[in-house]
Structure 1
Amino acid sequence: MLRPSLTTPAGPALFEFAVGGVLLPRKPHNLHNPPHGGFVAAWLPFGGVRVGAVCVPTRPSRNGWGVVVTFAVEEACGPIDFRVRIDPSIESGWCTGQGLAAIAYGASGVTVYVGGPDEGVANWLPAVDRALPVPVTGLGWRITGAAAGETIERHCAIAWGHGETGEYEAWTAVDTRVDLIRRAQ
């Protein structure tokens, strides 16, 4: 694996980051794939920010994953962007819940949800977002700026299920918190 990603029934979920309008290298400096699946990744300081990401299974059936991204700011910087995207040719649609932003992808009778907190969520309009690659699909978060010494965490979850019950379980799995993802480590 050259870059952090997860395999889902709708295709790989890719993780992308930008600092100050500049895309981070897709390949992290360090990338480890633990035996339980997922990944641990770290990039060299970029634009005055160290980026690290941890992805762990959050459901025993292995169709739910939690991701925590940490931005350690060494120098004040402009916007920091974090996005998760799946193949843009897959049919998708926005979903919302109380405090939750999510996108549902339908593929071969399975619904894949990518979700996270609605605070700081960006809708990735092409006219606004030039740092992250187009086509601009996926769910992402923008931190408008950060001061030196700040450590900022963002999280998301990816889950999928078959049929009405499986879809409900996947939907509830993406409505998660950082502490629950960390507990699964």
Structure 2
Amino acid sequence: MTNLYLPRPTAGDVVELILEDHRLFEDLLRQLRDATADREAARQALADVLIAHGEAEEQEVYPKLVRKDAIGTHEAEHGEHEHAEGNEKLLALLECKATDTQKFDDAVEELQKALMHHIGEEEQTILNPARTDVSEAVRAELGTSFAAARNALLDEGPGSVANVRRIVQEAAAEGKLEDDEDE
């Protein structure tokens, strides 16, 4: 299996770091849709960075933005709910045995829908207030803590099927996936 390069910034404006990951997700999704790409490498890279990114946001970014009154608890909880939904779609993708099947293509499409929805909402309802209501110094401090948490998680290989399954099961137990029946 080819390992794709995943950038590991150590500092920067948290908004820019999150946006860079969003563009990386989009690139990896493009590779997953491309039958000539190394889909297995793209799947593993996306799994690792998506889990590390979401966990780091929930640990380091969302709570601090709530404390700074940039976002409300509703926005933070909604972001966590959407992370859980994306992780559930990621698990379905990871459970596909082959990368050249209709099941795989369908799983990529479902993950893409969930991810693009979340990216759009997060950029509007969380990152915009972070830009306007939080000082550059605080965004830089958040960037450093986000990057450190993200990189530490990446070192653990967080995108394994077993770990993603555990995260999805925890989210379900916490009620973060309860709205699925309404869809």
User: Normalization by structure 2: what TM-score?
Assistant: 0.27
Structure of greater relative contact order (alpha carbons < 8 Å, 6+ residues apart): 2
Structure number with the higher strand fraction is 1
User: Normalization by structure 1: what TM-score?
Assistant: 0.26
